[in-house]
A and B are shown apart, each in its own frame.
Chain A
Amino acid sequence: MSGQTIAEKILANHFLSGSDIKPDDIIIAKLDLVMSHIGTGKVVIDFRKIRPSKIRKVFDPNKIVVIFDHYNPAPSERWASVHDLIRNFVKKQGIKNFYDIKEGICHQVLPEKGHVRPGMLIVGGDSHTTTYGAFNAASCGLGNTDLFYSYVKGELWFRVPHTIRFRITGKLPPSVMSKDIIIKIAGDHTAEVATYKSIEFTGDTMENLSIASRMTMSNFALELGAKFAFGVPDQKVVDWVKERTTEPFELVKPDPDAIYEKTYEIDVSDLEPQISCPHTVDNVKPISEVAGTKINQAFLGSCTNGRLEDLEIAAKILEGKRIHNDVRMIVTPASQEIWIKAAKSGVSETLINAGAVITNPSCGACFGALGGMLAPSEKCISSSNRNFQGRMGSAAAEVYLGSPATVAASALKGEITDPRDL
């Protein structure tokens, strides 16, 4: 037998009827963790269909995490009722890993609270569940019906994916971030380069990136169609996870003779900041081609780029300055932990003094349902992961995606601006 990729190893470890698997097999696998946010509401409704009521039990309350992040605090009576419904369910089912409106975005909070460890197989009722790949976990998103099934059975069918590899090398230039790398990949290889596939990011650039920057890549990889998106399985991951949990774990590394469908080589030594232009993530241009585009709003936040290092780089750019008069800048830390750190270190104050609005940790403006919506003629530069038509409000509005540095530089100038020019 030839060697195995990370995805193959983790799936084989969880396969319920053997361990011999190959790409394209369909297997039933046991789940280590099931995560869901507001979509839990549908699960609760589905649970009522189970009869008799005494068998309405989740497979294991300790392997489920429920978190509110999309509509926090509840913006309408309707969402308040959904929150209420879920809170009651969580209590009744004995789900202790429940995070109410204050904690932040699922993909940030789960790792922070020690729920994510190398080698785990995780599903979540959110597409960007791929983020946990940065911690060497096989994790992917699914819809409500699959979620309901996972809640009850703790197992699910999986198609064993082929694996592709991005070998990223070279030293990132100043003010160029991991977001620019992943946007560049989307532009060069399209939003389908990884459809159904598992990604392994490797190379010295990856090794040198912080965990936060790696999370950005595993997160955005979903926009390339990825099923899983693994960062580098190294000591940085081990140290990070050990700080958050005492549960045992082991890194899963690919075999040297593992078979990759394809390996893409990327040298980032001369990489320019990149922008995903409206309305697809792979409509990518180097910043020099879009610089000067006037913007009305700058959004710094989301599970892609709402971490401390993202706020810090923005603060560095905005320190002692005022953002442009015609721009609204919204900053949404990805979690309470980040929020507190940013408050303590003075980063928040710098951003507020520069004219930014800081909101509570949540998905916030990212998906156009909770504030920070755009009017028809408006343009927004965003650090999030989606610029689909209508994503942040009006279908006639335009969303440009870039790195936190680009968002801050653009807020300052009132137009899309290369952070290297400041």
Chain B
Amino acid sequence: MAALLGGKGSGEYKENLKGKVWVFPDNVDTDVISPSRYLENLQEMLDHTCESVIKEFPSKVQDGDIIVAGRNFGCGSSRETAPAILQEKGIAAIVAESFARIFYRSSVARALPVLEVNEVSKEFQTGDEIQINIPNAEITNLRTGKTLKGKKIHPILLNLLKNGGLEKQLLAELKENK
């Protein structure tokens, strides 16, 4: 069930990432990433995520892959299964021209790096290799050599990513104060 999804998370925070790219269009919504008819079963969620936009995505995506998307990525419902399922599939970061608000929040809360970079989706094709420096919000397409600069992540949020997300941060805090 959706609400109970734990997820393996994004692992340790890394400043620099390198990975294979999946290009997504504008306005990819949460019903594409995490369709409501599969919310009952984790395996079904994993098997069907994003298939309505990229058919082979659920079967071919690999650990460390990176999503490059157009505008308004993750719009729609507040279901956190959307970022969670992408993490579970091994997605290491998402670079988009813009994100829907709740998806952005939840990704940060889950320590899934999300970067906003103007015009980024035009510069990539699925299968390209991308290199990312998170604190500088700098990305490079290793096929074309082109580098783009995005919006820097606010220090409070960067800290959250480093601490492994909101839950880890909270549990650590509670331990200190008990």
The residue from A40, A195, A280, A390 contacting B37, defined by CB atoms under 8 A apart: A390
In this assembly, does B78 line the interface, its C-beta being within 8 Å of a C-beta of chain A? Answer: yes
| B window 145-178: CB within 8 A of A | 154, 156-157, 165-167, 170-171, 174-175, 178
Measured CB to CB, the closest approach of chain A to B98, in angstroms, equals: 6
Contact A140 B101 (CB under 8 A): yes
| B window 1-36: CB within 8 A of A | 1, 3-6, 27, 29-32, 35-36
In this assembly, does B91 line the interface, its C-beta being within 8 Å of a C-beta of chain A? Answer: no
Contact B1 A41 (CB under 8 A): yes
| B window 43-93: CB within 8 A of A | 52, 71-72, 75-80, 83
Contact B52 A142 (CB under 8 A): no
Measured CB to CB, the closest approach of chain A to B173, in angstroms, equals: 9
Q: How far is the CA of A143 from the CA of B102 in the complex (A)?
A: 7
In this assembly, does A395 line the interface, its C-beta being within 8 Å of a C-beta of chain B? Answer: yes
Query: Which residues of B have CB within 8 Å of A146?
Result: 105-106, 109, 166
Q: How far is the CA of A399 from the CA of B151 in the complex (A)?
A: 36
Contact A191 B37 (CB under 8 A): no
Task: Count chain B residues whose beta carbon lies closer than 8 angstroms to a beta carbon of A.
Answer: 44
Query: Which residues of B have CB within 8 Å of A390?
Result: 31, 35-37, 52
**Segment with Cβ contacts to B, from A42-50, A309-317, A345-353:** A42-50
Q: How far is the CA of A314 from the CA of B16 in the complex (A)?
A: 57
Contact A76 B40 (CB under 8 A): yes
Q: If the complex has contacts A50-B174, A125-B78, are A195 and B39 also in contact, measured as CB distance less than 8 A?
A: no
Q: If the complex has contacts A141-B78, A145-B110, A369-B37, are A388 and B29 also in contact, measured as CB distance less than 8 A?
A: yes
In this assembly, does B100 line the interface, its C-beta being within 8 Å of a C-beta of chain A? Answer: yes
In this assembly, does A21 line the interface, its C-beta being within 8 Å of a C-beta of chain B? Answer: no
**Segment with Cβ contacts to B, from A149-157, A288-296, A413-421:** A149-157
Measured CB to CB, the closest approach of chain B to A252, in angstroms, equals: 21
Contact A152 B76 (CB under 8 A): no
Measured CB to CB, the closest approach of chain A to B157, in angstroms, equals: 7
In this assembly, does A127 line the interface, its C-beta being within 8 Å of a C-beta of chain B? Answer: yes
Query: Which residues of B have CB within 8 Å of A41?
Result: 1, 3-4
In this assembly, does A386 line the interface, its C-beta being within 8 Å of a C-beta of chain B? Answer: yes
The residue from A46, A51, A126, A280 contacting B175, defined by CB atoms under 8 A apart: A51
Query: Which residues of A have CB within 8 Å of B1?
Result: 41, 78-79, 82
In this assembly, does A68 line the interface, its C-beta being within 8 Å of a C-beta of chain B? Answer: no
Q: How far is the CA of A388 from the CA of B1 in the complex (A)?
A: 21
Measured CB to CB, the closest approach of chain B to A25, in angstroms, equals: 9
Contact A391 B31 (CB under 8 A): yes
Query: Which residues of B have CB within 8 Å of A76?
Result: 40
Q: Which range contains the number of A residues in contact with the other chain?
A: 35 or more
Measured CB to CB, the closest approach of chain A to B39, in angstroms, equals: 7
| A window 21-66: CB within 8 A of B | 26, 38-42, 45-46, 49-52, 55
Contact A127 B31 (CB under 8 A): no
In this assembly, does A227 line the interface, its C-beta being within 8 Å of a C-beta of chain B? Answer: yes
| A window 73-91: CB within 8 A of B | 76, 78-79, 82
- Nearest B residue to A159 via CB reads B154
In this assembly, does A196 line the interface, its C-beta being within 8 Å of a C-beta of chain B? Answer: yes
Contact B4 A42 (CB under 8 A): yes
Most buried by A among B27, B52, B101, B156: B101
Contact A143 B105 (CB under 8 A): yes
In this assembly, does A98 line the interface, its C-beta being within 8 Å of a C-beta of chain B? Answer: no
In this assembly, does A144 line the interface, its C-beta being within 8 Å of a C-beta of chain B? Answer: yes
Measured CB to CB, the closest approach of chain A to B149, in angstroms, equals: 18
- Nearest B residue to A373 via CB reads B37
Contact B156 A157 (CB under 8 A): yes
Q: Interface code B104-146, partner A: CB below 8 Å = 1, 0 otherwise?
A: 0110011000000000000000000000000000000000000
In this assembly, does A203 line the interface, its C-beta being within 8 Å of a C-beta of chain B? Answer: no
Q: Which 6 A-B pairs have the closest CB atoms?
A: A143-B106, A143-B80, A145-B109, A388-B31, A127-B78, A42-B3
Residues of B within 8 A of A (CB): 1, 3-6, 27, 29-32, 35-37, 39-40, 52, 71-72, 75-80, 83, 98, 100-102, 105-106, 109-110, 154, 156-157, 165-167, 170-171, 174-175, 178
14 A-B residue pairs with Cβ-Cβ distance under 8 Å, sorted by A, are A41-B3, A42-B3, A42-B80, A82-B3, A82-B4, A125-B78, A142-B106, A145-B167, A146-B109, A149-B167, A192-B27, A388-B29, A391-B36, A395-B35
Residues of A within 8 A of B (CB): 26, 38-42, 45-46, 49-52, 55, 76, 78-79, 82, 125-127, 140-146, 148-149, 152-153, 157, 159, 191-192, 195-196, 225, 227, 280, 367-369, 386, 388-391, 393, 395
A39-B78, A280-B27 are known contacts; what are 19 more A-B pairs with Cβ within 8 Å? A41-B1, A41-B3, A42-B4, A78-B1, A82-B4, A143-B105, A143-B106, A144-B3, A144-B80, A145-B167, A149-B166, A191-B27, A191-B72, A195-B72, A369-B37, A388-B30, A389-B31, A390-B37, A391-B31
